[in-house]
Amino acid sequence: MDRSDIIYNLAEILNCEALKYEPLSRHTTFKIGGNADTYVKVTSQSKLSAIIKECRESDVDYMIIGNGSNILVSDEGYRGVVIRLDGEFRKIALVDEDTIYCGAGATLAALCKFALNCGLSGLEFAWGIPGTVGGAVFMNAGAYGGEMKDVVHCVTHMTAEGNPGRTEKADLQFGYRASVYRHNKAIITGVTLKLQKDNPADIRARMDDFLGRRSSKQPLDYPSAGSVFKRPEGAYAGALIEQCGLKGHSHGGAQVSEKHAGFIINKTGSATANDVKSLIREVQTKVYDETGYNLECELIII
């Protein structure tokens, strides 16, 4: 028996949806990626704990996936278990007049709508970011002058040993596209956010403004994983790439967006991960040679 079959069988016993050899291209915004040995939707803390503990006991690799909006999965896929947080992990609830609890598996879109309906401001910057709340906290997602660190009060998680835990704001180590969860191996399960009361009409106006800006500047009509590169100190990745004449440059089915050079798009719909990785290397090399800037990937390559 393949080791990941142990997790597949356990998932069935736990009444979790499980799929063998699931194409990860179906679960990433790039629409790219080979098969995962096992793909599991986990719906509760107890089930997640059981699966994590069994992965540890059976020496099976695993990773958590949200909307797959900031990752590039290799064409060879993933040898292990891919876990999607569902069920109770998508719960959103008002704790008090300015506090929201949100499960890590909920989308940022759902959270932003919930906050709007409660007349709570602070998340407008996140409207239109195509990720889950857990992923947004993991990488301290941000846009238009706002970041998750501005609104997160504390985070609940599950350790690599399958035990529940909690991290307070002061210990989250938020930085540019970074948090303590990028290296502590714990799985974010929920987030408590502190917001501010405001007029829903004013909140909606700001959300519409940010979404309009996003739509006008970003290639939202093509599969992509958002901004590929981190912003280098003293410059902007997209501007450097455009300066080097790389806007519209292609490798296979992947292209540097003609609308925003900081994005690489799956132009043909059939681009491979190798197409994207080759294009990233070409961009990094030319930008370094011509400007001296070393572009670091914001995109996570699996």
Domains and CATH numbers, the chain: 3-87 (3.30.43.10), 91-202 (3.30.465.10), 219-301 (3.90.78.10)
Residue 116: its H or E element: helix 108-117
Cα–Cα separations (whole angstroms), residue 69 to 35, 105, 134, 233: 17, 13, 12, 24
Residues designated as active site: 177, 227, 298
164-199 confidence digits (pLDDT tens): 999 999 999 999 999 999 999 999 999 999 999 999
Determine the pLDDT at residue 1: 57
Distance from C-alpha of 279 to C-alpha of 229, rounded to nearest angstrom: 12
145 Cβ contact partners less than 8 Å away, ≥ 6 residues apart: 125
**What does pTM read for this prediction?**
0.93
pLDDT, block means (10 residues), the chain with 302 residues = 84 96 97 97 97 95 94 96 97 97 98 98 95 96 94 97 96 95 95 98 96 92 95 94 97 97 96 98 98 95 94
Determine the pLDDT at residue 88: 97
Distance from C-alpha of 261 to C-alpha of 227, rounded to nearest angstrom: 9
Cα–Cα separations (whole angstroms), residue 232 to 182, 291, 294: 20, 12, 8
